[in-house]
Amino acid sequence: MLFRQPGRLISKLNPTRWYALQRGMGEVPLLSWMGTVCLLCVLVVSAGFAFLRPVNLDDICSVLDARDGWYTAVEQSHSRWGTPVPLMMAIMHQESKFIADARPGFKWFLGVVPYARQSTAFGYAQALDGVWGDYKSRTGNARARRDNFADAVDFVGWYTRDTERLTGVSRHDAYGQYLAYHEGRNGYRRGSYNQKLWLLGVAAKVERRMTMYSEQYKGCSAI
């Protein structure tokens, strides 16, 4: 294959240099050229992944507008289980920031070697393996996936409805519902959250977000 360098043709590729094909550009180091291509690929992929979750997480209308079918999914979950949409969305924001394949961090051996995830939580709702299995069997949604938004928000509606039934915490009480969601219903009954001041602060954040989302949701165009 022939390559043109200003003023002459060359028929062999220098093993360490890549010559520019356009007249006047001179020669370009092969490694530099490859590095530029790799960087562009990373930027393109990163830009693509940016669309996997909403951008403005502080506006519930923007969150729901970001993906097709999300309005329908939250309304169906609300109709089925009675949990307010803003409460479900506030919990999911806290759990995953609406990242479909979110996982907890690793446990570390001697502080340097990662050896296991902190829990089996996964997906939009950060549901654990065991409780997700309960959800699928009790609702008949056997093909549900934790990285599917409609399935995840239906799970949150189901879980909060049963929390109200089993513990008395209202489906409108974001503070209490989040504590039960995080600690599990048995942990909530034991009051395990009282030993975790940081968790009480997180529950208060979820409550404030639900209040903010509630005001915004009234004006969402798709309602």
Instruction: Decide: helix, strand or coil at residue 132.
Output: helix
Domain ranges for the chain:
3-50, 60-217
Query: How are beta strands 17-19 and 8-10 bridged, if at all?
Result: unpaired
The Cα 43–Cα 49 span in angstroms is 10
Distances (CA, A) of 136 to 14, 101, 129, 150, 151: 61, 19, 11, 13, 10
| Confidence (pLDDT) at 201 | 98
| Confidence (pLDDT) at 20 | 42
Query: How are beta strands 17-19 and 27-29 bridged, if at all?
Result: antiparallel
The Cα 15–Cα 47 span in angstroms is 33
Distances (CA, A) of 176 to 153, 154, 189: 18, 19, 11
Query: Who contacts 187 (Cβ-Cβ below 8 Å, separation ≥6)?
Result: 180, 193
| Confidence (pLDDT) at 55 | 82
Class at the top of the CATH hierarchy for domain 60-217: mainly alpha
Q: Please report, in tens digits, the pLDDT of each residue of the chain (223 residues total).
A: 444 444 444 444 454 444 443 444 444 454 454 555 445 544 444 444 444 567 899 999 999 999 999 999 999 999 999 999 999 999 999 999 999 999 866 555 666 665 555 678 999 999 999 999 999 999 999 999 999 999 999 999 999 999 999 999 999 999 999 999 999 999 999 999 999 999 999 999 999 999 999 999 999 976 5
Q: 18 - beta bridge partners?
A: 28
Cα four-point dihedral sign 89, 55, 69, 142: negative
Residue 15's identity, in one-letter code, is: P
Render pLDDT for 79-90 as a digit per residue (tens, 0 to 9): 999 999 999 999
The Cα 60–Cα 89 span in angstroms is 8
